[in-house]
Structure formats: structure tokens, C-alpha cells
Structure 1
Amino acid sequence: MYSRTTAVEIQFGDCDPAGIVYYPNYFRFFDNATAGLLSAVFAMHKRNWLEHYGILGIPMVDTGARFIRPSSFGDVVEIRSEIAELGRSSFGVKHSLLRDGELAIEAHEKRVWVVKGEDGGIRSAPLPDEVRRLLGQDA
């Protein structure tokens, strides 16, 4: 399945008073890494692929993380993101955050391909064949 690595420099504002990354910020990093992964595989910016595929977004329906080592202001971490599974209308993403080459966090997301529903809300839609093919390829 497709994978991508993103480098992130930890900023002062990412940290809590103890000087380590405040954990919700990791989920912001992972969300950006997922958007970057999809933008790379689709060869277009997120705002363009949303329009191109006629979707409202890819909301997260499940997430979790195992925190192994903290990161601090000034650290540069790598986030290795990969498509872990493809469902009918959903896909899973696995993130491995490394600091100094060592695993610091393992995280996962499950996201759903959504379109506008007839009632004006959102509803899931099957992953298009093109998307399935692109996400399923080896990097």
C-alpha cells in the first residue's frame, strides 16, 4: 500500500508547560500527514482533490495512539504514514512517528469517504476505483 514520510520540526507552541509536545498536537500532525499522503498520491492539493472527486471530506471515525517517547521544542521528527487497509467506503492509515530514528509514537486512523446526502447532511460513498487503485499501489 502507498506510504509517505513527512518531517516536522516541533515548535514552541506545540509544547505544554513541561516542555514536551502536548498530545493533541500529535493528532494535528497526523491529520496533516494524511492530507499530505493523499495529496502526493493524487498529485494535487487537498482542495483540488476534494473538488476533483466530488467529496465533502474524509472525516475520521476512529483513531488512537501509543506514546512511547516524548518530543520537545526544536526536535525534528519523521512521520511515516501508510495506507493500512481499504474498505468499501473507508480506509485506514498507520502513522509511525520517529525521533532520532527511534519509534516514539504508533498511531492509527480510520477515515470515511463522504459526499453530500440527499438530506443535506453527509453520507459515506464507495471509494472510486481510481482512488482504490492509487491507494493500493506500492510506493
Structure 2
Amino acid sequence: MTFQASRRVRFAHCDPAAIVFFPRYFEMINSVVEDWFSDVIGLDFNRMHQQLGVGVPTASLQTDFTAPSRLGEVLVFSLTPQEVGRTSLQLIIEAHCAGELRLRNRSTLVYVDMTTGRPIAWPDDLRQQFTQLLED
């Protein structure tokens, strides 16, 4: 199952040439991941971090930037889970504008205990949700 979220390119995202400064894409990607966890998985980051004491830091990012994005454009991000491991989750995230691919990202998140910072196994309910999404 693919999750979609739109992000308008704001002045704060841009360099002096009025195109997205590449680190700002990673902030947008992270916001899409956060929305996916909240809207699709039903586990918002506040509850995850503050109440459950767990997190999903990014362990790996591989990104291809295929075309520039400009101030005022609306990017449509799509997030598709690819693979679930014992403690990790791999996602493919793409951004398009008017049908044109702007970036393709492969992110690996790791489920960690916030107290120790060490990876822990996904709980069965989350693993089942991820597996169902992979099958859909």
C-alpha cells in the first residue's frame, strides 16, 4: 500500500536560486514518515517517543535527485514499505511534481529503545501491520 502526502515548497526550503536546498528534502521525507506512522500505522511520534519510550531513527538513506523543485510548487510524496526485518523497516519514498519525478529515496528505519538507544524487535502488532501493507 502506498501512502501519499503533499508538501508545498516554501521559502524556507529554498536556496538563493529558489530551488529546494537538498537537506530540506530530508526534513520533508521525515515529515512524510511521521504522518505515515500516525495516519496509517496509528502510532504517532508523540506517543511513540514520550509514552512508549521507543523510536524509529533513520539508519540509512539512499537518494537520487532527478530534477529541481522550485519555490511554490507542490510535491506529492509517496511512501511504500518494501521490507520488514526483525528490528528494521525499509521504505521507498518518491516525490513528484506535475507527474515529474523529483527524487527517489530508500530509507531504512530501526526500531529502538530510547533509553538504551539499542535496536529492539518490532512488536507483533506492528510487524503484522507492516506485513499486511507489504502484501497489499
Q: Same fold (TM over 0.5)?
A: yes
CA contact (8 A) 1:89 1:113 kept: yes
Are positions 1:57 and 2:52 aligned together?
no
State the match for 1:126 in structure 2.
121
In 1, Cα distance between equivalents of 2:63 and 2:69: 15
In 2, Cα distance between equivalents of 1:113 and 1:91: 8
In 2, Cα distance between equivalents of 1:93 and 1:40: 16
For the aligned residue pairs, the C-alpha RMSD in angstroms reads: 1.6
The one-letter code sitting in structure 2 at the alignment partner of 1:129 is: D
In 2, Cα distance between equivalents of 1:12 and 1:63: 25
Structure 2: state its 5+ residue gaps: none
CA contact (8 A) 1:66 1:107 kept: yes
In 2, Cα distance between equivalents of 1:41 and 1:11: 26
CA contact (8 A) 2:14 2:21 kept: yes
* Cα distance change of structure 1 residues 132 and 90 upon mapping to structure 2, 3 Å threshold: same
Q: List structure 1 runs of 4+ shifted beyond 6 angstroms.
A: none
Identity, in percent, stands at: 25
* Cα distance change of structure 1 residues 5 and 23 upon mapping to structure 2, 3 Å threshold: same
Deviations 1:39-95 (A, max 9, x none): 11232432123456x343111111021011110110001000111110000001110
Within 5 Å, which residues of 2 pair with 1:58-137?
58-116=56-114, 121-137=116-132
Q: CA deviation at 1:114?
A: 0.3
Count of paired positions: 134
TM-score (ref. length: structure 1): 0.88
* Secondary structure of 1:35 counterpart: helix
CA contact (8 A) 1:115 1:122 kept: yes
The one-letter code sitting in structure 2 at the alignment partner of 1:121 is: T
* Bigger shift: residues 41-50 or 77-86: 41-50
Structure 1: state its 5+ residue gaps: none
The one-letter code sitting in structure 2 at the alignment partner of 1:125 is: I
State the match for 1:43 in structure 2.
42
State the match for 1:10 in structure 2.
9
